[in-house]
A and B are shown apart, each in its own frame.
Chain A
Amino acid sequence: MKIEILGTGCAKCKKLFENAQEAVKNLGTSADVVKVEDIQLIMNAGVMMTPAFAVDGKVKSVGKVLSVDEIKKIIS
């Protein structure tokens, strides 16, 4: 599984990235959590506001800092 955090690097983007890492760790699943900071790539994903959260190329949430529990629900 590939989890992408789309955002140009603000505090909320960082928090979402940390929450995603935590959720993956808690579940014990194997997933890559990566940041996408290139504005062109973010725009190509059709994302209107950041941070956005994507799993295997599908954007699941936009403009929200999902909690660890919310992320667990999405990826499990």
Chain B
Amino acid sequence: MAEECCSPSEILIFTCSGSSNVGQVANQAAVDLQQEGIGKMLCLAGIGGHVSGMIASAQSAKRLVGIDGCSVACTKKTMEHVGLSLTDYVLITALGYEKGPYSGTMDKKAVDKIKDEMKKQIVKPIKIEVK
């Protein structure tokens, strides 16, 4: 964090990082997207915990990317709770994956699929609201 002076993090990635299989896939997809230089991960727990620096960082980002494991939609709701909307969103169970306990073995195919879905969305232009 904060390693780049004066260059805004255009794309911030949030994930539910849930304990279930889909939650863990969501987290791994976000980690991989960050590794590939698509954006920077920021802690959803920090947003939920009202850490002012994290909320202000999210407010200044151009795109807020969210990945949720299931339709409980913890990422989306946590962001909305502080008045932020995601610009790009992937819900893993909506893509046909079933939620269950995490076995400890990562479903790499699922991770790749989620990454591809997210990359497709991120290349699309977003509407910039003029305040």
Interface set of A (CB-CB < 8 Å, partner B): 6-8, 10, 12-13, 39, 42-43, 45-52, 54, 57-64
Contact = CB atoms under 8 A, between A and B. Distances in A.
A60 B42 CA distance: 17
A58 B51 CA distance: 8
B52 A60 contact: yes
A7 B53 CA distance: 13
A43 B42 CA distance: 12
B1 A43 contact: yes
A46 B54 contact: yes
B60 A49 contact: yes
Contact of B52 (A13, A42, A43, A46): A46
B56 A10 contact: no
B9 A49 contact: yes
Contact of B5 (A10, A58, A59, A61): A10
B5 A48 contact: no
Nearest to B4: A49
Nearest to A42: B2
Interface string B37-54: 000101100100001111
Given A49-B60, A58-B52, A63-B57, 11 more contacts: A6-B2, A43-B1, A48-B2, A48-B12, A48-B40, A49-B7, A52-B53, A54-B52, A60-B52, A62-B59, A63-B60
A46 B44 CA distance: 11
B1 to A, nearest CB: 5
A73 to B, nearest CB: 14
Contacts of A64: 60
Contacts of B43: 46
29 contacts: A6-B2, A10-B5, A12-B6, A13-B6, A43-B2, A46-B1, A46-B46, A46-B52, A46-B57, A47-B53, A48-B9, A48-B54, A49-B8, A49-B57, A50-B2, A51-B5, A51-B6, A54-B52, A54-B53, A58-B52, A59-B55, A59-B56, A60-B52, A60-B56, A61-B60, A62-B59, A62-B60, A63-B8, A63-B60
